[in-house]
Amino acid sequence: MNVFLYILLACFWGCSFIAIKYVLEIFPPFFSAFLRTFLTVLFLSIYILYKKIPSPLKEIHIVLKWSFMGVFAFAIPWAALFWGEQFIQPSLAGMINSSVPIFALCISWFVIPQDKVSSVGIFGVMLGFVGIACIFLPTIESGQNMSLVGMIAMIIMSISYSINVVWTRKWGRKINLAWAIWIQTLTSSFLLLAVSLATHETYPSLHAIFEYPKSVLGILYLSFCSTTLAMIFFYHLIHQWGAVKASSVNYILPFIAIFVDYLVLDHLPTLYEWVGVVLIIAGLLLLHFYRVKKTA
């Protein structure tokens, strides 16, 4: 059962990049990100009520802490993800997304005292950054300015995710995961709606929405499958397997994103992009097995 959930989780997250592409056919980027967070709040509310999970909302300091972390967990990265994917392929977004653990390790060296710098860690990070450079190289050489801007947005997404990962480790999580994500996505939905309104995005009419059912299905998939169910499955795997083994699902996401991009849009990465993603994953695997050995 756990292996099945692991595979399903990888598919949910790996297919999210192509789903975003469909959503952007009709919905503007910041409003799309708002819809994803707001619908996630609704789905999580149903789950919380069904499971009768005790509420932590009376503890203001907990609500404020997780609301603040939600800015880096959802608001900033999803704003960057939806906006940036207007200009790049879904597979490219998936490849850059795989760099999150690389940035997280770099940040943790500065803010978590027990995370000491090691020669293995430095080598793994160096491989990761060389891989990122290889992914960027074809776009830089071709002079595709908007594609480059979209890729930079993906880097902002990865760094924001990394900050959240490190802060979660540093501060700990003393509330149920469902409530933590509920608070974060609720805060993020308000912020993303405010950004959407401030940037004067143009919203589609109901008639236009009905003409693009793939966009509606895409946003439902992102909020229900790729966020709500995915986080529940991930939390279950962490309890069953431990955080290190469960987090290994991230290493296969870019390859699923590449496969789906080819299957749906008939697009394959360039040679440099292939080399880049392989180097990033190699660096991550090096760090992964080093952490397993160290933990043992």
Give the count of domains, the chain: 1
Higher pLDDT, 241 or 79: 79
Q: Which residues contact 11 (CB under 8 A, 6 or more apart)?
A: 256
Q: Is the pLDDT reported for residue 121 higher than 90?
A: no
Sign of the Cα torsion 247, 99, 281, 96 reads positive
Percent of the chain with pLDDT over 90: 62
Backbone angles phi, psi at 86, to 5 degrees: -65, -25
pLDDT of residue 245: 72
Per the CB < 8 A criterion, the answer to whether 112 and 170 are in contact is yes
pLDDT of residue 293: 57
Distances (CA, A) of 243 to 6, 233, 238, 294: 13, 13, 5, 14
- Output the pTM of the full model: 0.92
Confidence band for 295, pLDDT divided at 50, 70 and 90? low
Using the Cα atoms of residue 142, residue 145, residue 150 and residue 154 in order, give the sign of their dihedral: positive
For 143, residues 6+ apart whose C-beta sits below 8 A from its C-beta are none
pLDDT in tens, 13-37: 999 999 999 999 999 999 999 999 9
Burial 74-110 (b: 16+ CB within 10 A, else e): bbbbbbbbbbbbebbbbbbbbbbbbbbbbbbbbbbbe
Question: For residue range 201-248, what is the model confidence (pLDDT) as tens digits?
Answer: 999 998 888 888 999 999 999 999 999 999 888 888 877 887 667 777
Give tens-digit pLDDT for 280-290.
999 888 877 76
* Structural domain harbouring 193: 2-295
